[in-house]
Amino acid sequence: MPSKRDIRREELTLHGHRVSYRVAGEGPVILLIHGVAGSSDQWEPAMALLTGDHTVIAPDLLGHGESAKPRGDYSLGAYAAGLRDLMLALDRPRATVVGHSLGGGVALQFAYQFPEHTERLALVSSGGLGREVHLLLRAATLPGAELVLPLISNDTVRDTGSAVSRFIGRFGFRAGPDLAEIARGYSTLADGDSRRAFLHTLRAVIEPGGQRVSATDRLYLAEDVPSLVLWGRRDPIIPVRHAGTAHRGMPGSRLEVFEDAGHFPQLDEPVRFARTLADFIESTEPADISAEALRRRLVSSSS
C-alpha cells in the first residue's frame, strides 16, 4: 500500500533556476499544480493514494515552496511553459494535468498552449472562470500590500501561525482546514523574495475588483480533452458556481461537487478526491490532439 514515505522530493535546474518537485509511483503521469502561496505538499495526502498505478509529479511552482524565487515572469503563460519544460526534462512528455485554484488557471493555459502534452484536464476550485474571488486575495493586490505582508509573516508568526490565523479570520473564514491552510501559506512569506513572487503572481491574475484573467472564451477548445471539474460546495475563496461555468463551457466534462469541502477538497477529503480522480482517469481515453486538429477547431469556431 503506497504511503507518504514513498514520495520523493527531488530537484533540477531549468533555465538557471532551481525547480523542486515531489514524485512517486510508476505508470501514466499525473501532473499536480498547486495554487498561489501554496506548494506541492498540499498534494501529499492524495499523492499517497494515487501512486499505485501512476507516476505522480507535483512541482513547487517558481516563487513557491522550495523552488527558486527569481525576479521574472509570473504569468499563467510563463508557468505553463515552465511545466512543459519540466515534463520534457523528466522525459515525461504527456500527462493528466490537474490544477488547484491558481493552478487551475495554469492547467487551462497549459492545455491551451500545449495540447499535444495534455492527456486529460482536471480543474479543482479553479481560478480563471469568473470575476468573483475572496476579498482577502483582492486586498493583497492593493497598493501598500508590500508593507502589510511583512507584519503577518515575521519569524514569530511563522513559528506559531496564530497571528496569521487571527488576521485571516477577520475576513470571515471559519475555523477549519481553509483557514489553517491559507494561514500556513501566508506564513511562508517571511522573506522578501517570497513576498515579491507572491505579489507578482497574484497581480498577474487578480485586481482589486476581482479576477482579471478569464479562460471562459476558450473553454470550447477542451471539447476533445477528457475534463473533470471538481469543487467544494463550501469554498469561500472562489464560489462553487464557477464550477458550473466550466462544466457548461467544456462539452462532455464531468462535474463533481463535494458538499462538505471548502477550497481544498484534496485536503478536506483526500481519499474521495483520489478515488474520483483515479476513476476519471480510468474511465476516459487520453486525448491525442495535433496542431492541425486544434487549427480546425479554431477555424470552425470563427465561421
Active site residues: 101, 235, 263
d(CA 90, CA 85): 9
Could you say which DSSP state residue 185 is in?
H
Cβ-Cβ contacts under 8 Å for 95 (sequence gap 6 or more): 28, 29, 30, 31, 57, 87, 117, 118, 119
Is residue 8 classed as helix, strand or coil in its secondary structure?
A: strand
d(CA 187, CA 178): 14
Is residue 76 classed as helix, strand or coil in its secondary structure?
A: helix
What is the amino acid identity at position 134?
Answer: H
d(CA 185, CA 64): 10
Cα angle vertex 69, ends 66, 72, to 5°?
Answer: 150
d(CA 131, CA 146): 23
β-pair type (254-258, 206-207):
unpaired
Cα distances (Å, whole numbers) of residue 36 to 112, 114, 189, 275: 20, 22, 11, 25
d(CA 257, CA 136): 23
